[in-house]
Amino acid sequence: MSNIYGGRGLEIVSGEGALVRDSSGKTHIDFLCGSGSALFGHCHPVLTEAAIKAARFPWTISPGLVSEARDGFRKALASLLPAEQEGKAFLCNSGTEAIEAALKLAIALRPGRKKIIALRRAFHGRTLGSLALTFNPQYRRAWAENLIPVTHVATADVPSVVDKDTAAVFVEPIQGEGGVHVMDSAQGKAITEACRNAGAILAVDEIQSGWGRCGSLLASSQTGLEPDIIALAKGLAGGLPVGAVVWKGALGDFPAKGHGSTYGGNPMVSSVGLAAWGLLRSENYPERALKNGAFFASLLDALRKKSPLIREIRHMGLLFGVEISAKADPIVKELQERGVLALSAGPQVVRFLPPFTAKEEHFSLVAETFGKVLEAHETAE
């Protein structure tokens, strides 16, 4: 098996909510959550029941056949756009697939335009199209000669480079992989206005920030962005493989036979996705994300006042990045050894992606453990 992801030396055998247990019986607080995919926590009873029920029926059918679950899920996704914009939705299997579809759609909707713009620090995936939009040279280097041309600019410079030759601008409201940088709402509004004036497509990557994680269904609404196309994935179906592209129907559609997906929108995943959509509203998860995010931020801020290693805390809802004056990977490793799963977001940012179902005691213990790890690191230095 390819070792492209490396290894954490941990075998997870069970889990519930924000907790997982490894093969030795040790319990961990999971603020890694499958890189954010387990947005509803592990084995959520409502999502589990939806999966069990759906498993008793055909798991996958041809995209050309009618599926009540698929149609319902697509309708829910389309409702993320204002009703007057008559949103359309295409279902696939992952975030990078959603970006590939969004890129193809944007190019098709603006034929003849050659320029595609993305942001510095952007991460949009690692297939060839999405990799062209991704900024980090470490991801791009081996395939650089095969990538379509993309202009990468600083967020503040986007309005000045959007012109009549621009087909699309791709942005993340919050750059997760790039260090958890939250877009300023004034900059988001300026980018939106520049795209409108030039007739360029504004494509927003909400793969990590969307579906309620950041305190609203879409983080775009908090960052001044008014997207024409939205890419979603990760937590849409509680961690099952799913991606989606939602766009303004008036803009048009894919060319005939111009795109497709064998498994995208299969009834099983769509059923769980619909159940997740129901939970967002019935459990007020976006509002809870704001409340719990503010609580965790207060704990981290108290820690910042005591630890000289913490430079800055950046977050929105339940998407956190803590920039430190040390390498992040050893800190992440030490957190795991002490029973907390997290991940890095660049060389000096520790990222926390708590699920909706995390409790106050989980946030408190993670902050306490993080403090001990930082203190131990200071002493070792």
Q: Which domains does the chain carry?
A: 12-30+284-380 (3.90.1150.10), 47-282 (3.40.640.10)
21: phi then psi, degrees, rounded to nearest 5: -120, 140
Q: Report the DSSP pairing between strands 319-324 and 310-316.
A: antiparallel
Q: How far is CA 168 from the centre of its chain?
A: 20
Q: How far is CA 102 from the centre of its chain?
A: 15
pLDDT of residue 208: 97
CA distance 137 to 353: 25
Tokens, residue 218: 């879409």
Instruction: Map tokens 């093969």 to a residue.
Output: 23
pLDDT of residue 84: 85
Q: How far is CA 28 from the centre of its chain?
A: 22
pLDDT of residue 7: 79
Quote the pTM value.
0.96
CA distance 235 to 239: 5
pLDDT of residue 1: 46
Instruction: Map tokens 């459990």 to a residue.
Output: 283
Pairs from 340-344 (Cβ < 8 Å, separation ≥ 24)? 340/28, 340/29, 340/31, 340/365, 340/366, 340/369, 340/370, 341/20, 341/28, 341/29, 341/30, 341/31, 341/32, 341/33, 342/31, 342/32, 342/366, 343/32, 343/35
pLDDT of residue 3: 65
Tokens, residue 231: 């890419």
Q: What is the mean pLDDT of each run of 10 residues along the chain (381 residues)?
A: 72 97 97 97 98 97 93 97 92 98 98 97 96 95 95 98 98 96 98 98 98 98 98 97 97 94 96 98 98 98 97 98 97 98 97 98 98 89 60
- For 254, residues 6+ apart whose C-beta sits below 8 A from its C-beta are 90, 104, 105, 108
Instruction: Determine how many CB atoms are found less than 10 A away from the CB of residue 333.
Output: 14
CA distance 215 to 294: 10
CA distance 248 to 148: 25
Q: Which residues pair with 203 in a beta bridge?
A: 170, 229
CA-wise closest residue to 314 among 191, 187, 176: 176
Cα-based distances in Å from 13 to 16, 51, 368: 11, 19, 26
